[in-house]
Amino acid sequence: MNRFNGKTVLVTGGNSGIGLAAAKAYAAEGARVVITGRDTATLEKAAAEIATDVVALRSDAASLHDAKHLAEVLNQKGIRLDAVFINAGIAKFAPFADVDEALWDQIFDINTKGAYFQIQALLPILNKGAAIVINGSINAHIGMPASSVYAASKAALISLAKTLSAELLPQGVRVNVVSPGPISTPIYGKLGLDETSLDATAKQIQAQVPLGRFGTPEELATTVLHMTALESAFIVGTEVIVDGGMSQL
Ligand code: NDP
């Protein structure tokens, strides 16, 4: 399929995990791809892997300045966007009693405030008919211990997609959320667990998925491409859950 021939797509956090898989899938379907992240080395590596028409830009999702700068740079390059995957995010877990303001701010600044102001900054360079997908999480729906801040930061994105859809649809922009269950990406390695605890955590998580396994970044990418393709113009202001049945338990 070449559903994105002649289209330009931005994937935030396109240098790793789900974002990288989505960026590659868009490129494989003909899109010019813009990827962002903070780490320049992995951005360059990702750009080389995506290979075709790709622009890699360093941009911190937690920085309002960076969000505006990103939109300015793209505008200067004459780039207008047909699809945006707001994917950059972090996961950190801590028991409720241990959560402090710094942890709350770090998670919300990237996952929630970042999504909000990146969309606001990008609005002037969106083409009519543009589709935005925000990466949420199944944690918004399940009561997993120690996930209170992360879960709240992701749950807010569902309301954001609904309200923005109501507001932006008249301008030809639709907004949705994809909520993944556990997907095997480097995010788990960033939790600060030693190898034994990481292994035990992975087994625990896997046991909670009726399908009996983690999802792959490519499976997520398939859904994101579908949600942003023209064929899905009727998917508006809603959430698509991709979780191997986890939220059914
Ligand atoms: P990865 O850790 O592989 O990717 C995270 C991406 O986000 C990286 O590209 C990282 O780039 C980028 N990122 C993080 N913080 C910032 C920041 N401040 N500014 C810009 N980019 C940033 O994890 P995943 O692919 O798993 O995660 C992608 C999204 O999917 C996240 O929003 C996560 O919450 C969500 N998700 C993942 C699940 C999973 O099981 N894997 C389940 C549910 C949701 P860099 O390091 O260069 O900043």
Domains delineated in the chain: 8-242 (3.40.50.720)
Q: Flag whether the pTM goes above 0.90.
A: yes
Which residue has a Cα nearest atom 41 of ligand 1?
A: 183
Indicate if ligand 1 lies below 6 Å from the C-beta of 55. Answer: no
Would you say residue 98 has pLDDT above 80? yes
Q: Alpha-carbon torsion 65, 75, 56, 239, what sign?
A: positive
Nearest to 176 by CA among 132, 117, 112: 132
Grade residue 44 by pLDDT with cuts at 50, 70 and 90.
Answer: very high
Q: Which residue has the tokens 């002649």?
A: 6
What are the tens digits of pLDDT across the range 105-123?
999 999 999 999 999 999 9
The pLDDT assigned to 180 comes to: 98
Buried/exposed code over 112-123 (b: 16+ C-beta within 10 A; e: otherwise): bbbbbbbbebbb
Mean pLDDT value across residues 37-46: 98
C-beta of residue 144 within 8 angstroms of C-beta of residue 91: no
Which residue has a Cα nearest atom 15 of ligand 1?
A: 89
Mean pLDDT value across residues 155-184: 97
C-beta of residue 80 within 8 angstroms of C-beta of residue 34: no
Would you say residue 69 has pLDDT above 90? yes
Would you say residue 221 has pLDDT above 80? yes
Indicate if ligand 1 lies below 6 Å from the C-beta of 215. Answer: no
Grade residue 1 by pLDDT with cuts at 50, 70 and 90.
Answer: confident
Would you say residue 249 has pLDDT above 80? no
The pLDDT assigned to 220 comes to: 98
Which residue has a Cα nearest atom 21 of ligand 1?
A: 37
The pLDDT assigned to 130 comes to: 98
Please state, in angstroms and rounded to a whole number, the distance separating the CA atoms of residues 188 and 173. Answer: 33
Rounded distance from Cα 106 to ligand 1 centre (Å) = 13
Amino acid at residue number 236 = V
C-beta of residue 201 within 8 angstroms of C-beta of residue 195: no
Portion of the chain with pLDDT greater than 70, in percent? 100
User: Which of ligand 1's atoms lies nearest the C-alpha of 154?
Assistant: 34
Grade residue 51 by pLDDT with cuts at 50, 70 and 90.
Answer: confident
Interface predicted TM-score (ipTM): 0.99
Grade residue 37 by pLDDT with cuts at 50, 70 and 90.
Answer: very high
Rounded distance from Cα 231 to ligand 1 centre (Å) = 27
Mean pLDDT of the chain: 97
Kindly list the catalytic residues.
150
The pLDDT assigned to 52 comes to: 82
